[in-house]
Amino acid sequence: MGEYDIENHPDLKDPDWQKHAVKEAWVDYRRTRRRARLGRRLAITAVVLVVLGGTGFAVYRWGKATSEHYTGSAPTGGSVPADVTTTGPAPSVLPDFAAVDTSHPFADTPAQNWAEGIAGLTVPPATKVGGFSQEQVGAALEQVKQVIAAAQFDQATLVGHNPEKYLTALAPNARSQIRSQADQFVTYLADGYPLLPASPRMTGALTPRAGNKGELVVHTSYVVAYAFDPGSRDIQGPAEMEPFVRVDADYVVRPGGDKGDRGVWVDRSDRYFSNIACTPARQNRIAPAFGEQDFGGPSLSQDPGQYDPAKPAPTQGNCS
C-alpha cells in the first residue's frame, strides 16, 4: 500500500467504522438543515383604520407574506394542559435539537405550561373604564374574546377556510368591509397538514381602555402554538412541527349608535409567524417547517417576542 493510498487503509474498510462515519455525516447534514429551518420566519402586519363618524372603515394590511392557522375547538380545561407531563419552567425558545413525543408535543417548549385554546387568554375582571360601566366593559371583553376564539381555534375557519364565525362576531357594518380580506385576520391551515390531537396552546391577555367618544378600545397581545402531525417524517425537534403565531391587536367596541355599527371593529392587527414553511405562506396558509422543500436561506436567532407576548413583537422575517 502506497503512502497516499488512503482509501485502502484497513481502518477505513472496517464495517463498524464505516457505519459510524455515515451516521456522523448524516447528523451533520440534518443539523445544517435544521438551523436553516429555524430561521424561517414571517412578519405580517394588518392595519385597519376606523373611519370615525361613519359606518365604514378602510383596511390597510402590509407584510412579507401571509399565512393561515389552525382549526379546532377551544377546550376550557385547567391552567395545566392535560398532555403536559411536567409543570416545571418552560424554555424561553425552541431547542435546536430535542426528542419529540407526539403524544405530548408541547413538552419542553415555550408552550409547555400554556392553557388549551382560548382558556389561555387572560381576561381581566370588568371594571368601569371612562364613561363605560362595569357591565359594558365586561360585555366588550367577552365580545373580543369570541372574535379571537373564532380567528384562532374554530374548526371551520382553520381547516375549512370559512371565516363566517369570525365575521359574525364583528359589528354588522364591519363584516362587509372586511370579508374580502378576512384571511389577513384569521388562521388558515395549509391543506394536507393535519394537526395532532393535542389542542393548540395559548398565552396572552386583554386590556381595555377608553377610546374616542362612544368607543371602548380593547388591546390584546397573545401567542398561539399549533402542533402538526409529522406522520412518518423524521423530525429533529419541535420547531419543525410547531408554528407559533404572535398577534398584537386593538379592537374598537361600540356599544351604542347606529345598529349596524354596534359591536367589534378591528382597528389594528399585527401578526408574526415563526417556524413555518414559506411556500404555503405565500398562499396565505400556515404549514409546519417540515413541509418546506427548500432548506436554504439565512438563519435568524430566535427572538423572545415570538413566544412571550409581554416582550416587544419581532419585526424581522426572511420569507419573501
Tell me the pLDDT band of 54, cut-offs 50, 70 and 90: very low
pTM: 0.77
Mean confidence (pLDDT) of the chain: 78
Residue 23 reports pLDDT greater than 60: no
Number of domains in the chain: 1
Helix runs in 153-297, H state only:
155-158, 164-168, 172-178, 278-281
- Name the residue range of residue 118's domain: 9-306
Comparing C-alpha atoms, which of 249, 268, 246, 239 is closest to residue 313?
A: 246
Residue 319 lies in a domain: no
For the stretch 253-287, pLDDT in tens is: 998 888 899 999 999 999 998 889 988 988 889 99
Residue 211 and residue 86: Cα distance in Å, rounded? Answer: 42
Euclidean distance between CA atoms 104 and 198, whole angstroms: 8
Per the listing, cell 436561506 goes with: 297
Please write the tens of the pLDDT for every residue from 166-197: 999 999 999 999 999 999 999 999 999 999 99
The answer to which of 91-95, 106-110, 142-146, 309-313 has the lowest mean pLDDT is 91-95
pLDDT single digits (tens) 212-260: 988 999 999 999 999 999 999 988 899 899 999 999 999 999 988 888 9
Note the pLDDT tens digit of each residue in 86-119. Answer: 568 888 888 768 889 999 999 999 999 999 999 9
Parallel, antiparallel, or unpaired for β 263-274 and 57-63? unpaired
Whether 314 maps to a domain, the answer reads: no
305 residue type, one letter: G
Does residue 207 fall inside a structural domain?
yes
Assess if residue 1 is contained within a domain.
no
Residue 126 — φ and ψ, nearest 5°? -70, 130
Q: Does some domain include residue 142?
A: yes
Per-residue pLDDT tens digits for 122-137: 999 999 999 999 999 9
pLDDT, position 7: 53
The DSSP output letter for 275 is: S
List pLDDT tens digits, range 24-47.
Answer: 444 444 444 444 444 444 555 554
**Residue 50 falls inside a structural domain:** yes
Residue 295 maps to a domain:
yes
Residue 296 domain flag: yes
Please list, in sequence order, all residues whose beta carbon lies within 8 angstroms of the beta carbon of residue 3, skipping any fewer than 6 positions away.
none
Answer for the pair 107, 94: CB distance below 8 angstroms, yes or no: no
Burial of 89 (0-12, 13-18, 19+ CB in 10 A): exposed
Residue 13 three-state SS: helix
3-state secondary structure labels for all residues of 79-122: CCCCCCCCCCCCCCCCCCCCCCCCCCCCCCCCCCCCEEHHHHEE
